Amino acid sequence: MIRFIALSGFLGAGKTTTLMAAARTLEEQGRRVAVITNDQGADLVDTQLAQSHVDRVGEVTGGCFCCRFEDLVSVARTLVDDGNVDTLLAESVGSCTDLQATVVNPMKRYYGDEFTVAPLTTVVEPDRHRALATALRLEDTESDLSYLFGKQLEEADVIALNKIDTLVQAERREITGRLAQRYPQAKIVAYSAATAEGITDLVDAWGNDTGSGAVLEIDYDRYANAEAQLAWLNQRFSSSSPQGFVPQTWATAALMHLSARAATKGWTIGHAKVSVRSGTALTKLSLISAGADPVANTAQTEPVHSADIQFNARVVCDPTDLDAAVQDAVRAADDAAACISVPLAAPTAFRPGYPVPVHRIQA
């Protein structure tokens, strides 16, 4: 039987980082692991990053797991057959929820002889929890994004409180306590995907248990509204410079520019990520808050002559504004790094469409 572990959680919570840290721990325990990334578009920075850490990576693009359920099964089977894999770690789209009904239960009912489904795990990070959970308590003013964020936690079998390296002990206790009180159905695990502190606790929390399949009451109109507030852009560029340019300089300048634009305009950033690949070297930076500095997962400071760049951004704004902001950010990065970036396709930011799951199974 193949172990299928699904990670949910808002944009920027640290799902991809968690999946890579958990893959390492599971492999040390003798499991053979593959990773599945997922997005509404193509050209994923997450896939690039995962490939630099894990040998076996598949992706489901063009829609979330629930709306592309058969793709998920076929990608999972291919990884199992080609890679002799016994454990799959699958990261769902950060604006997606209702996964017990649309992924866990269909997997159990239709493919239960191939896969055992682990407890559904929602990754949450302290800052976003602070920002969105506060709004949750004020019922009448609760935003649709807060509603969606709350649903992700409400359906979790395991709540994975990530980024505890940014908290002191008292804060860890306080947030863990609040989550436990509000979401009594879930087991709470506090850890850091970045430092690996507590990652074994997370892997242990999956154990050999099965996802509860306990289905949410959810208003799909509100869920769809929340998703549709986000403009979504994936774009690739080919960059070059005869005298050489530094990938880290480019990625930093691009995300700083977008961060400043979002702060000025009052846009909430879900996440924005840039990967710069030159040969086998990868630079990857991300930004999860307007006005903040980008953070590097891996960065190259040696100059290169050419690179393949991917830009992924999910921002609460109009898609045409996001298109313009990203093109401006690319120009600013070209100026800062002294190179020229040519888009491989025109920018086509979009709003995610109304979620239409293939299956929705109650029990």
- Which residues in this chain contact ligand GDP in the complex, by CB under 6 A? 9, 11-17, 46, 94, 162-163, 165-166, 192-194, 271, 286, 288, 295, 297
Give CA 318 to chain center in angstroms: 21
Minimum gap (Å) between residue 164 Cβ and ligand GDP: 7
Task: Answer whether 183's CB lies under 8 Å from 121's CB.
Answer: no
Minimum gap (Å) between residue 13 Cβ and Mg ion: 8
Residue 192 interacts with, from Mg ion, ligand GDP, none (CB under 5-8 Å by kind): ligand GDP
Residue 28 interacts with, from Mg ion, ligand GDP, none (CB under 5-8 Å by kind): none
Helices (H) and strands (E) in the chain, counts: 12, 14
Question: Which whole-number Å values give the CA distances from 107 to 26, 40, 232, 245, 330, in the listed order?
Answer: 22, 21, 28, 47, 41
Minimum gap (Å) between residue 138 Cβ and ligand GDP: 26
Residue 162 interacts with, from ligand GDP, Mg ion, none (CB under 5-8 Å by kind): ligand GDP
Count of C-beta atoms within a 10 Å radius of residue 130: 10
Minimum gap (Å) between residue 275 Cβ and ligand GDP: 11
Residue 9 interacts with, from ligand GDP, Mg ion, none (CB under 5-8 Å by kind): ligand GDP
15/314 with CB nearer Mg ion = 15
16/241 with CB nearer ligand GDP = 16
Residue 193 interacts with, from Mg ion, ligand GDP, none (CB under 5-8 Å by kind): ligand GDP
Q: Which residues contact 21 (CB under 8 A, 6 or more apart)?
A: 193, 196, 199
Separation between Cα atoms, residue 176 and residue 304, nearest integer Å: 45
Separation between Cα atoms, residue 99 and residue 92, nearest integer Å: 9
Lookup: tokens for 221: 């109109």
Q: Using CB atoms within 10 Å of the CB of residue 236, give its burial: 0 to 12 exposed, 13 to 18 middle, 19+ buried.
A: middle
Separation between Cα atoms, residue 252 and residue 249, nearest integer Å: 5
194/361 with CB nearer Mg ion = 194
Minimum gap (Å) between residue 23 Cβ and ligand GDP: 13
Which residues sit at the interface with Mg ion, rule CB under 5 A? 15-16, 46
Residue 288 interacts with, from Mg ion, ligand GDP, none (CB under 5-8 Å by kind): ligand GDP
Per DSSP, what are the bridge partners of residue 231?
315
Residue 320 interacts with, from Mg ion, ligand GDP, none (CB under 5-8 Å by kind): none
50/80 with CB nearer ligand GDP = 50
Q: Using CB atoms within 10 Å of the CB of residue 233, give its burial: 0 to 12 exposed, 13 to 18 middle, 19+ buried.
A: buried
CA dihedral of 294, 261, 137, 126, whole degrees rounded to 10: 10
288/330 with CB nearer ligand GDP = 288
Residue 103 interacts with, from ligand GDP, Mg ion, none (CB under 5-8 Å by kind): none
Q: What are phi and psi of 320, to 5 degrees?
A: -70, -35
Minimum gap (Å) between residue 50 Cβ and Mg ion: 9
122/341 with CB nearer ligand GDP = 122
Minimum gap (Å) between residue 22 Cβ and Mg ion: 13
246/299 with CB nearer Mg ion = 299
Minimum gap (Å) between residue 175 Cβ and ligand GDP: 14
131/295 with CB nearer ligand GDP = 295
Q: Using CB atoms within 10 Å of the CB of residue 59, give its burial: 0 to 12 exposed, 13 to 18 middle, 19+ buried.
A: buried
Residue 302 interacts with, from Mg ion, ligand GDP, none (CB under 5-8 Å by kind): none
State which residue has the least CB distance to Mg ion: 16
Between helix 126-137 and helix 144-154 the angle, nearest 10°, is 110
Minimum gap (Å) between residue 222 Cβ and ligand GDP: 22
Separation between Cα atoms, residue 206 and residue 159, nearest integer Å: 11
* Strand, coil or helix: 62: coil
Q: Looking at this protein, which amino acid is placed at residue 258?
A: L
